[in-house]
Structure 1
Amino acid sequence: MISYFIEFTFLALLIIGLTAFLGPITNGIGEKLFSRRKDVNYFVKQSAKTQTGWRPVGGRKK
């Protein structure tokens, strides 16, 4: 009976572990295969380009 619970626990941990890591693994594979190789800082650069000439707002004046 104890061996049944040990096997059940092992199987449950295996299924939970596979479920937990299957999403990130397939996401990584998908990004490697289907990404368009854009610059990592593309959105940061675009935001900085949009904000050129803006006045700073808020905060304390020194």
Structure 2
Amino acid sequence: MPHETTPATELTSHYVSQVASDLDRNVKGQERIAAEIAALQQELAALQHDHAVLVSCASS
């Protein structure tokens, strides 16, 4: 019986390791995307500001 338990234990250990790796990769991906979104939001705000200035100059 212990002979059959070893492969199951090894398989479980492999799955646990894989899940931990997947979770780490997922968190890093979320952090990367969040940083990209923040940069794009800043760029959008700058463009919107420029647009407002240009519209105000054009209507003067």
TM-score (norm 1): 0.49
Q: Deviations over 1:2-44 (max 9, x none)?
A: 1101110110001111112211111102221x21236xxxxxx
Where in structure 2 are there 5+ consecutive unaligned residues?
Answer: 1-19
**Identity of matched residues, %:** 3
Higher radius of gyration, 1 or 2: 2
Note the aligned Cα RMSD (angstroms).
1.6
- Give the length in aligned residue pairs: 37
Q: Which has the higher helix share?
A: 2
TM-score (norm 2): 0.50
Residue 24 of structure 1 is aligned with which of 43, 53, 56? 43
Letter in 1 for 2:57: R
In the alignment, what sits opposite 1:10? 29
In 1, Cα distance between equivalents of 2:50 and 2:34: 25
Where in structure 1 are there 5+ consecutive unaligned residues?
Answer: 39-62
Once superposed, which parts of structure 1, at least 4 consecutive aligned residues long, lie more than 3 Å away?
none
